[in-house]
Amino acid sequence: MKHTVHLSKSTTSRRSFLRKGLAVGGAGAIGAGLFANGLPAFAEAESGGLTPGDAAILRFLSALEILETDLWQQYNELGGIQDSEVPGGSGSAAYTAALKVLDGDMDQYIHDNTEDEFTHFTFINAYLVSKGADPVNLDTFRTLPSSKATGAQDIGRLTNLMQLTVDTSYWTKYRSRTKNPDFGDTFPPAVPGLLKGQFPAIPRTDDDLKGFKAGKTPTIPDHLQAIANTAGFHFAFIEQGGTSLYPSLAQRVTHPEVLRILLSIGPTETQHFQTWQDKAGNAPPLTDPTNGLVFPELNNPPSEDTQTNLIMPEPTIFLSRKFPVVSIIRPTETKGAAMGALKALTDDGLFIGQSDEFFALLRKLAKQADAARHGG
Ligand SMILES: [Fe+2]
Ligand SMILES: [Fe+2]
């Protein structure tokens, strides 16, 4: 099942490309300081060849892609493949083994998803710079602690993977034949326990690995497996967000090339989501003895709302109930899509520990993206 990674660009070249892009920008990247003296310039005038709306949408997407990269990087350091394409960290054999219970290729998929996120923000920032617009840089907010488990780098992070409250309603949302979030419908979570507390998706310290024994059939304690299961469901949560965000925002861009960017990046989020929800279905049912978190048996009792192999979207209502049901991405409502995405990530616990300035900047970027109008 292993597949060969064809890209051979080194990370060094990718990063120097980004640095070059930032230098060309001149005015500097969007960061906390820029907002100290009021609205940034792009709110008032066209940013190079881009309309203010297109620039705002691209900036918001760049910010979210930087945040995605930060969280995927943490997963890769401990549970992925650390190589020249995605450097950093030295891996945790115990955590990697627990993830592989979901699929033998989990480390490869984590690596590839991480690399994809690097390219998403790097490309969008470079494109902004090419149009004379400011790129996004969140480096000043890399202040959250790393995992202390062996294998993780000890550096400042943008996101927190150790206190997650994971909403798994995406599971039943894509299995429903009668409901759609764009009609105001809500969906029960597949793993209710993940909404009722704060749970680690990576080992916090080596204590979380206690009882692990390596080998052909490794011994994986339930607490460690629960952490890997949490990660498995979280991977799909993150990527279903991107799956909806790109089509939602694409409805409001103006320039055909910007539309092309959104239509070309967005479906890669969907590829990720589709893979991850298939793997999450392999998470073994168990109870974490340390905190009581339950991963239920999703195929018993049998229900089409939770059946693990129903990974293709069920057809459902779209636009109006007068139309026949159709297999679609959901939601794709464009109104408030950026702020909705920011709220979902915040509710997920990813930003626990972040500063008021961080939230103020993210809210500002989301507000400007949501204010964009096609042709405006
Ligand atoms: Fe992405
Ligand atoms: Fe993604």
pLDDT of residue 29: 55
Distance 274 CA to ligand 2 centre (A): 11
Higher-confidence residue of 144 and 25: namely 144
pLDDT number for residue 249: 98
Q: What is the per-residue burial (b if ≥16 Cβ within 10 Å, else e) of 335-372?
A: eebbbbbbebbeebbbbeebeeebeebbebbbbbbbeb
Helix (H, G, I), strand (E, B) or coil at 73: helix
Nearest ligand to the CA of 117 is 1
Q: Which two tokens stand for residue 309?
A: 């192999």
Cα(354) to centroid(ligand 2), Å: 21
Distance (Å, whole) CA 77 – CA 86: 9
For ligand 2, the distance from its centroid to the CA atom of residue 68, given in whole angstroms, is: 6
Find, among 264, 275, 265, the residue nearest to 235 by Cα: 275
Q: Tell me the average pLDDT across 164-169.
A: 98
Ligand nearest to the CA of 240: 2
Q: What is the pLDDT of residue 30?
A: 54
Q: How far is the CA of 72 from the centre of ligand 2 (A)?
A: 9
Q: What's the pLDDT at 49?
A: 83
> Which residues pair with residue 144 across a beta bridge?
157
CA of 215 to the centre of ligand 2 (A): 33
Helix (H/G/I), strand (E/B), else coil: 23: helix
- Between the CA of 269 and the centroid of ligand 1 the distance, in Å, is 6
Q: What is the pLDDT of residues 265-296, one digit of tens each?
A: 999 999 999 999 999 999 999 999 999 999 99
Share of the chain above pLDDT 70, in %: 87
Ligand nearest to the CA of 243: 2
Confidence at residue 34, expressed as pLDDT on a 0 to 100 scale: 42
Average pLDDT, the chain: 90
- The residue among 246, 21, 249, 37 whose CA lies nearest residue 136 is 21
In terms of pLDDT, which residue wins out, 89 or 15? 89
Which whole number is the average pLDDT over 34-41?
40
Answer whether residue 146 shows pLDDT above 70: yes
Report the alpha-carbon distance of residue 283 to residue 368 in Å, rounded.
39
pLDDT at 376 (0 to 100): 75
What is the 139 CA–ligand 2 centroid distance (Å)? 19
Of the pLDDT bands very low, low, confident and very high (cuts 50, 70, 90), residue 181 is very high
Alpha-helix runs per DSSP H in 91-137: 93-100, 106-130
CA of 116 to the centre of ligand 1 (A): 7
From 17, 53, 280, select the one nearest 125 (Cα to Cα).
17
> Comparing 8-17, 118-127, 343-352, which segment has the lowest mean pLDDT?
8-17
- Cα distances (Å, whole numbers) of residue 90 to 75, 93, 110: 11, 9, 14
Measured distance CA(149)–CA(92) in Å, rounded: 8
SS3 320: strand
Digit-coded pLDDT (tens) for 191-237: 999 999 999 999 999 999 999 999 999 999 999 999 999 999 999 99
- CA dist 238 and 160 (Å) reads 13
Provide mean pLDDT across the span 325-352: 98
What's the average model confidence in pLDDT over 59-79?
Answer: 98
Q: Which of 64, 104, 110 is nearest to 83 (CA)?
A: 110
For helices 222-250 and 93-100, angle between their N-to-C axes, nearest 10 degrees = 70
**C-alpha of residue 290 to centroid of ligand 1, in Å:** 33
344 CA from centroid of ligand 1 (Å): 15
Dihedral (CA of 82, 162, 281, 272) sign:
negative
pLDDT higher than 50, residue 36: no
Cα-to-centroid distance, 239 and ligand 2 (Å): 5
How crowded is residue 51: how many other Cβ atoms within 10 Å of its Cβ?
Answer: 20
pLDDT at 185 over 70: yes
pLDDT of residue 267: 98
**Among 79, 68, 129, which Cα is nearest to 103's?**
79
